Structure 1
Amino acid sequence: MTEYVEVQTAAGRVRGRWRPTTGGRGAPRSAAFLGIPFAEAPIGDLRFQAPVPKAPWDGVRDALEFAATAQRGDPGVTLIPEPSIEGDSTLNVNVFTPDQTAAGLPVLVWIHGGGYFAGSPASPWYDGRNFTRDGVVTVSISYRLGFDGFGWIADAPSNRGVRDWLLALDWVQHNIAAFGGDPGRVTVAGQSAGGGAVLTLLGMEAAQHLFHGVYAISGALGDVAPARAEAFGRALAAAAGVEPTVAGFSTVSEDRLLALQKKATRLGPSSMTTMIDEGLPLGPAIDGDLLPRPTRESLRAGVGADKPLVIGAADDEFTMAFTGTAATALRWVPQSVLLNRLGLRGSIRAEYLAANADVVRLGKARLAGRVLTDGMFRRTVPRIAADRADAPTWLYRFSWPSGHFGFAEHCLDVPFFFDCLDGPSMEALAGPNPPQALADELHGGAVAFVATGDPGWSRHEGDAGTVRVYDVQTRDVSDAYASVRALI
């Protein structure tokens, strides 16, 4: 059997490689096409511009290795193995397909997380081999990060990273049939910033024709306010000693701009409340163009109401921030001072503490982690469900406690979603022997949703609707987000 496989795309022919799947069921092998460019390299005159579609090429282009990533070096912030790859041509797609001669297979498009400033589509955890095993064509996409992708510049197109998502999805519409996929059955999915990305797309009028379902894992919405975006851009320009224009920023090297960005976005104890209340300083911004209003306003207005949505979060996304020496230090901080610093003030405090009595009993570190988690991630879930009213929406919670940390931390659910518990760097996040049965359940629900638009449990309806709780014993529970109601 030949090792290589070729597919004709709109821009030219690409050569991928056949590989085995795992798990002993479904398709025994799948083809991987890595690093296919959907846009020209965003350098030189294109650095701070909207992405330009990749020009056609002659001959056969090898798609055997991951291409360059927008992430440089190791930012030290992601819990998923997400390698950085040097190079200029950073706008690429990776396609995994069970059979390029098939037709009409459902399609999953994955957008990686990393706070909109880090992350990489080249992670072995994002390998689509087990979605393809189960009959789903899988695509992972790259996009510009940090200031290059999302920073305000006076005379540059806004939301360049968002425009990268749109062009990548447009590439899928025009090319995925050649890989056996159905452009009319595309689900976009992502985690953390990637989860925020797919929610942003769900609320974006300009994106509605590019996908047909959304799976949002621990979504962190950007929705950066215009004044905040501009203030950040002007401050960064001042720090660089240039005008806040394309001409000015073009004189700043990539390395120096990245260093200035890191300094400007460094988080400390005093900035936690700001992060909870206002979100991250770099990310999709309200620009009056692609994003004329905050995402939740768009959803309340009915944008995306025809598209099914699965949305959920892990129980203790950011509790890791209060482990080790941080937990020791908290012993000397009065609970009232700690909760004030985390923005939990006034009349809601008593209501919140009563609803989270089980976490309060575990101590201040666990309580602080849950407050930060709820403010950043978990309260978004019932909020979005309420915003969508009667639109088809399914909620879940990921509650299985890591065998390493003892709670369900940020990123823990990703290898269960991809069914890749045999992947590298797993024990540091999940502990030894994470339960394959839970991966079968979560991944199986994701496959069902991509294929049919229904993940296999009851739609969420009303304040106390059904929520799928993924845990040692997976179950369906009513009002499973009651503990965040005080924050909504």
Structure 2
Amino acid sequence: MRAQRFGRRAVLLGAGALALTAACAGGKSGSGESGTDTVTTASGPVRGTRRATGVAFLGIPFAQPPVGQLRFAAPQPPTPWAETRDCTRYGPTAQIKQLAEVTAIPEPSIPGDDILTVNVFTPTPDKNAKLPVLVWIHGGGFVAGSPASPWYDGAAFNRDGVVLVSVGYRLGLAGFLHLDDAPDNRAVLDWIAALTWVRDNIAAFGGDPAKVTIAGQSAGGGAVWALMNTPAAKGLFRAGISESGAVTQPNDKATALALSAQFTRRTGLPATAAALRDLSKIQLQDLEDKLRAPGPDSTPAALLGLAPFADGTLIPSPSAELLKSGADQDVPLMIGFTAHEFNGASLTGAQTEVTDTTLPMALGALGFAPAAAADFRTAYPGLTANQLAGQAQSDAVIRMPSFRVAEMRAGRDQPTWLYEFTWTSNAPKFQGMSFHCLDVPFAFDVLRKDGVTAVAGDNAPQSLADAIHRAWVNFVRDGDPGTGWPRYTLDRRETMIWSAAPQVQSDPFAAQRPIWLR
């Protein structure tokens, strides 16, 4: 999740991220059903849990625990084992606390050091099955989130013939802070190590390593965009899905260096692995909280600085440069956003509402020219000044950058499918909102899972979940969501609108385009 400030307005962004008002050990290994629930990986055999839709293997190490000398090092291959590991419970998580007291997606924190693990949900652990594979990277603003969320269960994908893999990775300081004596973008290296594990092992779980799609929401969607532009990840996947993605990342290197300098100013510690390696997890979390806290010395780098950045080696270019020059990749991409991402995010301070008089200032804090106030009124007729400021916040953080990615790719004839999720919640706290994270349980077809009713209400349409999930399955299987959803092109700009009655519309953002592409 991400906490981002624009003037007095706060945004919370991430995998379980809207705040509006045990790994491979213990447990029984099956339900008594017949069939194989043990698979031999390159590191050793693992045992999973049989379920109605297949077998779940939880907490399989793809790298050694990042402790001691490995805490800020590149991920190292796991130590092999001979005895069968009982992988029937989720492994430890990098997250030790949620970023907000209330999050839209349930995000459990599980203690322990063995955080570099994958969870594999497969219809059948048959090496001859050659099923398509979806690798899920959770969100959380690159500083929080959990792969153990019940919303990320792979049962529905297994039912429809897809192997699902969810990934744990280093967060915050451990994953992204530039340190003078450690490799940069350590979490990106974790993602690549997990994808390499998938390439080398997924066939034993019934998956086809040549049919891997990566996907993520919020920061996870940003991870997809970063990996699509990381040469070292080339060939490890064939398609990507960015769901409300933080595609303004990768940051430029100057942003990473500025954040590293701010870390030293605020904590008094040098930004080095040597100075931080032996601190406890709680101590590191406290340092991260100091770094990210608002204050008079806050810089733009602190907003989402703990994130992928263009280090010049692993990631050659920042997102802003990619959008100007064009990303050099033809990987099929499904990308989109919700209608109201952060419109309802709470105001800070005195809770002062934006007025007609202060709207230009509020837009300026979001990076828009003050004169854009008239354009926003045209694009979103009927909204109050305060509502327009909320919509501008959603546009600036998620909607506009994602639209720009679609436009850039369409201009280069790269296969792209754009969508907008517009169905609105009827839950009391979220009435009439199509907010950040709301579309996740529809894509995973988990409307009956814990926590969904609290944010979506009692009458979330199963038909919409069926339609969205089907499009995802088609895309993972075929690299195309289906005949009813055309590619995004600059001549027609056809976009899927996920509403109670899904439909494709031509150029639905014509009114916003003068603002978004300015």
Would the TM-score normalized by the shorter structure come out above 0.5?
yes
> Pairwise mapping of residues 273-422 of structure 1 onto structure 2 (< 5 A)?
274=300, 280-295=304-319, 297-298=321-322, 303=327, 305-322=329-346, 329-330=353-354, 334-357=358-381, 361-388=382-409, 389-404=412-427, 405=430, 406-422=432-448
The answer to whether the aligner puts 1:130 opposite 2:162 as a matched pair is: no
- Counterpart amino acid of residue 83 in structure 1: P
1:395, CA displacement in angstroms?
0.4
Q: Secondary structure at the match of 1:482?
A: coil
TM-score, length basis structure 2: 0.86
Q: Which residue of 2 aligns with 1:69?
A: 93
> Pairwise mapping of residues 195-234 of structure 1 onto structure 2 (< 5 A)?
195-221=221-247, 222-234=249-261
1:487, CA displacement in angstroms?
2.6
Q: Which stretch of structure 1 is more off in the superposition, 106-115 or 70-79?
A: 70-79
Q: 1:337 to 1:31 in 2, by over 3 A?
A: same
Q: Is the 8 A contact 1:108 1:137 kept in 2?
A: yes
Query: Aligned equivalents of 2:198 and 2:226: distance in 1?
Result: 18
1:205, CA displacement in angstroms?
1.6
1:162, CA displacement in angstroms?
0.3
Deviations 1:371-421 (A, max 9, x none): 011000011222112222201101000011111221110000000000000
1:333, CA displacement in angstroms?
7.1
Q: Is the 8 A contact 1:109 1:141 kept in 2?
A: yes
Q: Which stretch of structure 1 is more off in the superposition, 204-213 or 117-126?
A: 204-213
Deviations 1:89-121 (A, max 9, x none): 100000000011142100000000000000000
Q: Is the 8 A contact 2:359 2:389 kept in 1?
A: no
Q: Which residue of 1 aligns with 2:119?
A: 94
Q: 1:96 to 1:269 in 2, by over 3 A?
A: farther
Q: Is the 8 A contact 1:195 1:216 kept in 2?
A: yes
Query: Aligned equivalents of 2:107 and 2:503: distance in 1?
Result: 32
Q: Which residue of 2 aligns with 1:36?
A: 60
Deviations 1:242-264 (A, max 9, x none): 32222112244321221121232
For structure 2, the residue ranges without an aligned partner over 5 or more in a row are: 1-32
Query: Aligned equivalents of 2:495 and 2:64: distance in 1?
Result: 43
1:42, CA displacement in angstroms?
0.3
- Counterpart amino acid of residue 447 in structure 1: V
Query: Aligned equivalents of 1:96 and 1:304: distance in 2?
Result: 32
- Counterpart amino acid of residue 202 in structure 2: I
Q: 1:483 to 1:94 in 2, by over 3 A?
A: farther
Query: Aligned equivalents of 1:15 and 1:435: distance in 2?
Result: 36
Q: Is the 8 A contact 2:62 2:77 kept in 1?
A: yes
Query: Aligned equivalents of 2:254 and 2:167: distance in 1?
Result: 30
Q: Which stretch of structure 1 is more off in the superposition, 227-236 or 426-435?
A: 227-236
The answer to whether the aligner puts 1:471 opposite 2:503 as a matched pair is: no
Query: Aligned equivalents of 1:365 and 1:337: distance in 2?
Result: 12
The answer to whether the aligner puts 1:56 opposite 2:86 as a matched pair is: no
Q: 1:52 to 1:16 in 2, by over 3 A?
A: same
Q: 1:310 to 1:206 in 2, by over 3 A?
A: same
1:3, CA displacement in angstroms?
7.9
The answer to whether the aligner puts 1:147 opposite 2:177 as a matched pair is: no
Q: Is the 8 A contact 2:138 2:146 kept in 1?
A: yes
Deviations 1:211-258 (A, max 9, x none): 000011011032222122122123223433332222112244321221
- Counterpart amino acid of residue 474 in structure 1: P
- Counterpart amino acid of residue 254 in structure 1: K
Q: Secondary structure at the match of 1:387?
A: helix
1:445, CA displacement in angstroms?
0.4
The answer to whether the aligner puts 1:441 opposite 2:467 as a matched pair is: yes
Q: Which stretch of structure 1 is more off in the superposition, 470-479 or 229-238?
A: 229-238
1:182, CA displacement in angstroms?
0.4
Q: Which residue of 2 aligns with 1:459?
A: 487
1:437, CA displacement in angstroms?
0.5
Query: Aligned equivalents of 1:256 and 1:52: distance in 2?
Result: 24
Q: 1:482 to 1:370 in 2, by over 3 A?
A: same
Q: Which residue of 2 aligns with 1:254?
A: 281
Q: 1:336 to 1:244 in 2, by over 3 A?
A: closer
Q: Which stretch of structure 1 is more off in the superposition, 230-239 or 127-136?
A: 230-239
- Structure with a larger share of its residues in helix: 1
1:329, CA displacement in angstroms?
4.0
Q: 1:439 to 1:344 in 2, by over 3 A?
A: same
The answer to whether the aligner puts 1:188 opposite 2:187 as a matched pair is: no
TM-score, length basis structure 1: 0.91
Q: Is the 8 A contact 2:266 2:290 kept in 1?
A: no
Q: Secondary structure at the match of 1:109?
A: strand
Query: Aligned equivalents of 2:424 and 2:200: distance in 1?
Result: 42
Query: Aligned equivalents of 2:393 and 2:296: distance in 1?
Result: 12
Q: Which of 89, 107, 132 is the aligned partner of 1:82?
A: 107
Higher relative contact order at CA 8 Å, sep ≥6: structure 1 or structure 2? 2
Q: Which residue of 2 aligns with 1:179?
A: 205
Q: Which residue of 2 aligns with 1:108?
A: 134
Q: Is the 8 A contact 1:240 1:257 kept in 2?
A: no
Q: Is the 8 A contact 1:212 1:307 kept in 2?
A: yes
Q: Secondary structure at the match of 1:283?
A: coil
1:348, CA displacement in angstroms?
3.2
Q: Secondary structure at the match of 1:73?
A: coil
Q: Secondary structure at the match of 1:379?
A: helix
Q: Which residue of 2 aligns with 1:263?
A: 290
Q: Is the 8 A contact 1:153 1:245 kept in 2?
A: yes
Q: 1:301 to 1:335 in 2, by over 3 A?
A: closer
1:365, CA displacement in angstroms?
3.5
Deviations 1:46-84 (A, max 9, x none): 001111111211110011000000000232264200100
1:325, CA displacement in angstroms?
10
Q: 1:400 to 1:115 in 2, by over 3 A?
A: same
For structure 1, the residue ranges without an aligned partner over 5 or more in a row are: 21-28
- How many residue pairs align between the two structures? 474
The answer to whether the aligner puts 1:10 opposite 2:33 as a matched pair is: no
- Counterpart amino acid of residue 487 in structure 1: W
Query: Aligned equivalents of 1:459 and 1:201: distance in 2?
Result: 22
